[in-house]
Chain A
Amino acid sequence: MKILRSALLWLILFSLGMAAFSQGILNPYQQLILSYIAINVILATSLNLVNGFCGQFSLGHAGFMAVGAYVSAVLSLHFKVFTGSLDFLNFPFYALAGGSVAAVAGWLVGMPSLKLRGDYLAIVTLGFGEIIRVILLNMESVGGARGLYGVPGPTNFFVGTALAFFLAGGTWLVLWRLTQSSFGRAFLSVKEDEVASECMGVNTTQTKVFAFVVSSFFAGVGGSLFAHTTNYLNPASFQFMKSVDVVIMVVLGGMGSLTGSVLAAIFVTILPEALRPLQEYTGVDLRMVIYSLSLILLMILRPQGLLGSREWNSFFPFKKRGAK
């Protein structure tokens, strides 16, 4: 309990600090980019749990994100716990609700497909993302193809950035502790060799489903943050390409490295903004060409990604406990 409280305290301090920092020196455009970075960090680290640590391959992160986003948006339109100046305290609850529904969806999708070998999951999750999109397109109650307007968001940038970093930091903390625990060892053993880990008493299907459900939960949290940051949802935001974006972050950063995912999320969010002048000059969208080419080259030349499975603490040798 004490650890949890101090972690929560650090988390709040961290998010307030980041918000104050960004409020101080960044303009609103840059602050928005910062919020997008937080969203992508949540998505990339959570997908890494399945694709990196567990060695499975999910291609439907955008679908779970959509579930979280829509649930959270609809809740925020119709339901409030805190009102007045404490209004911002609602958002973590919306995120929790969005994440929980996404987790249930993850369980429903993961149960049948994770019993099978890895590559089926890729197709099923891809299909799931597509089904969710089609259902949302046909649901008139959430706007259908017109999209959902007027989703309430934090009233100012300071609260918005603090919320984004609170959720991103919370995601990181939970995933970090999870991967360092015995669950994390089980994930890695499933990745290395399913038969061997089953012999050692790891229930592989259960482990994979657990990882997948946690990952979907945080995808839902990321979606919720997305909904309240952009204030507008459209099924077209959750297309296959969004899932591919997240996969690229995971592969680029290193499958099995949360630190790598964070770095890659920052890089992949900033790159299109940096490439904008080039795109205006050439007139074509070279972003996806560059990404896809880097995927192929990475797989051939450096399949472990930039960081491999190393984390931030392996760069500070004095912090290593029980090193080899």
Chain B
Amino acid sequence: MEDFLQHVLNGLNLGAIYALIALGYTMVYGVLQLINFAHAEVYMLGAFSIYYSNKWLHLSDHPGWTSFVISILIAVMVCSLVGLTIERLAYRPLRGAPRLNVLITAIGVSLFLQFSGQAVFGADPKLFPQVLQDKDLIQFGQIQIRSFDLTIIGVSLAAMALLHFLIHHTKMGMAIRAVRHSRSSASLMGINVDLMISLVFVLGSSLAGVGAVLVGLKYPKIDPLMGMLIGLKAFVAAVLGGIGSLPGAVVGGLLMGLSEEMVVAYLSSTYRDALAFGLLIVILVFRPSGLFGKYEVEKV
């Protein structure tokens, strides 16, 4: 039982991170109907931005909340810039092109970032600077609650709450929702559609940046291909929750993290990567619109 609770805790941790990244996928899918493969690489670049900025700022010499907040700010800034650049250079020229072409471009951008990352940063794994120290907070019998666990869950919740506020309680959020609903009518109402799409990329990429710092703290090995698998799993989480739906992405991420942790704990760790895709096929067979999605019939 205590083992089980420990696994639940670990699963929630993993799930919170998946949820953060899944939000980026689901938001972009909502406005552009595009699987933004490059999102995972934005996350990777976020982690590397901390690695390199640490060489200048020496944040890991003074681990603590200040360093933590500074590194989150750096990662968010770098990721937003990268997301904005990708959208501007690769996706915007293809606005109105067939969806398949945009999808291929997304895969191209993702591969380009992965492999130029290998060429620039080197293919060998690097150690993520520890900008915050891990402490043993509470111990119930066998269950350990470490400060990182609470930090990850707390920071992700805060980021999601902020996103919720921005989307549902500001004018900008209302504009984004309008663009999501119908791009052409939003533009008739005087909304700058391109600007809103850029904003969606900025918001999604910022969450990926927050995720990068949190993952870096918990699993401090980073390499240029680190985004690929976590990105795919986050995408499956978004589909599980219903792509395009924000609460769906969060619930999907948590479910994904929990089920993965359980597979590793009670079956075999070699199957952890196959689980995500097995789950995806099952969803597509039984409920293609996901848990929270609406099934849309294509109209002429």
With A138-B270, A285-B115 as contacts: A127 and B277 at CB distance below 8 Å: yes
Chain B: interface size category: 35 or more
**A contact residues around B276 at 8 Å (CB):** 127
Cβ of A291 to closest chain B Cβ, rounded Å = 7
Tell me the chain B residues, 15-67 only, with Cβ under 8 Å from chain A: 33-35
A116 in contact (CB, < 8 A) = yes
In contact, B105 and A288 (Cβ under 8 angstroms): no
Q: How far is the CA of A40 from the CA of B85 in the complex (A)?
A: 34
In contact, A288 and B111 (Cβ under 8 angstroms): yes
A210 in contact (CB, < 8 A) = no
Cβ of B6 to closest chain A Cβ, rounded Å = 26
Per-residue interface assignment for chain A, residues 256 to 286, with 1 indicating a CB less than 8 Å from any chain B CB and 0 otherwise: 0000000000000000000000000000111
A292 in contact (CB, < 8 A) = yes
A303 nearest in chain B by CB position = B101
In contact, A292 and B103 (Cβ under 8 angstroms): no
Among the 9-residue stretches A16-24, A88-96, A118-126, A224-232, the one with 4 or more Cβ atoms under 8 Å from chain B is A118-126
A251 in contact (CB, < 8 A) = yes
Tell me the chain B residues, 235-259 only, with Cβ under 8 Å from chain A: 235-236, 239
A57 in contact (CB, < 8 A) = yes
A134 nearest in chain B by CB position = B274
Q: How far is the CA of A174 from the CA of B14 in the complex (A)?
A: 48
Contact for A116 among B35, B101, B116, B284, CB less than 8 A? B284
Contact for A288 among B101, B102, B115, CB less than 8 A? B115
Cβ of A145 to closest chain B Cβ, rounded Å = 10
**A contact residues around B108 at 8 Å (CB):** 292-293, 295-296, 299
**A contact residues around B101 at 8 Å (CB):** 299, 303
**A contact residues around B100 at 8 Å (CB):** 55, 57, 118, 255
A77 in contact (CB, < 8 A) = no
B109 in contact (CB, < 8 A) = yes
Q: Is the interface of A mostly helix, strand, loop or mixed?
A: helix
Cβ of A299 to closest chain B Cβ, rounded Å = 4
Q: How far is the CA of A55 from the CA of B285 in the complex (A)?
A: 21
**A contact residues around B278 at 8 Å (CB):** 127, 131
**B contact residues around A311 at 8 Å (CB):** none
Tell me the chain B residues, 99-145 only, with Cβ under 8 Å from chain A: 99-105, 107-112, 114-116, 118-119
In contact, A128 and B118 (Cβ under 8 angstroms): no
**A contact residues around B102 at 8 Å (CB):** 299
In contact, A119 and B103 (Cβ under 8 angstroms): yes
With A57-B103, A134-B271 as contacts: A194 and B115 at CB distance below 8 Å: no
With A57-B100, A128-B277 as contacts: A296 and B270 at CB distance below 8 Å: no
Per-residue interface assignment for chain A, residues 229 to 251, with 1 indicating a CB less than 8 Å from any chain B CB and 0 otherwise: 00000000000100010010001
**B contact residues around A116 at 8 Å (CB):** 284, 288
Contact for A113 among B34, B236, B284, CB less than 8 A? B284
B300 in contact (CB, < 8 A) = yes
**A contact residues around B280 at 8 Å (CB):** 123-124, 127
Q: How far is the CA of A22 from the CA of B103 in the complex (A)?
A: 40
Per-residue interface assignment for chain B, residues 258 to 285, with 1 indicating a CB less than 8 Å from any chain A CB and 0 otherwise: 0000000000101101101110110011
With A116-B284, A116-B288, A128-B277 as contacts: A247 and B235 at CB distance below 8 Å: no
Q: How far is the CA of A150 from the CA of B40 in the complex (A)?
A: 39
Q: How far is the CA of A132 from the CA of B23 in the complex (A)?
A: 28
Among the 9-residue stretches B89-97, B180-188, B213-221, the one with 4 or more Cβ atoms under 8 Å from chain A is B89-97
Cβ of B214 to closest chain A Cβ, rounded Å = 25
A33 in contact (CB, < 8 A) = no
In contact, A289 and B105 (Cβ under 8 angstroms): no
In contact, A126 and B115 (Cβ under 8 angstroms): no
A200 in contact (CB, < 8 A) = no
With A195-B298, A300-B90 as contacts: A131 and B105 at CB distance below 8 Å: no
Query: What are 27 residue pairs bridging A and B, where the CB atoms are less than 8 Å apart in the complex?
Result: A57-B103, A59-B107, A109-B281, A112-B284, A113-B281, A116-B288, A118-B100, A122-B35, A123-B35, A123-B235, A126-B277, A128-B281, A130-B273, A134-B273, A135-B274, A138-B268, A195-B298, A244-B111, A247-B104, A247-B107, A289-B116, A292-B109, A292-B115, A295-B105, A299-B94, A299-B102, A303-B97
**Closest 9 A-B residue pairs measured CB to CB?**
A127-B277, A295-B108, A292-B111, A292-B112, A288-B115, A296-B108, A134-B274, A284-B119, A112-B285
List residues of B whose CB falls within 8 A of some A CB.
33-35, 90, 93-94, 97-105, 107-112, 114-116, 118-119, 228, 232, 235-236, 239, 268, 270-271, 273-274, 276-278, 280-281, 284-285, 288, 298, 300
Additional A-B contacts beyond A112-B285, A285-B115 (9; CB < 8 A): A57-B100, A113-B284, A127-B277, A131-B278, A138-B268, A251-B104, A291-B111, A292-B111, A300-B105
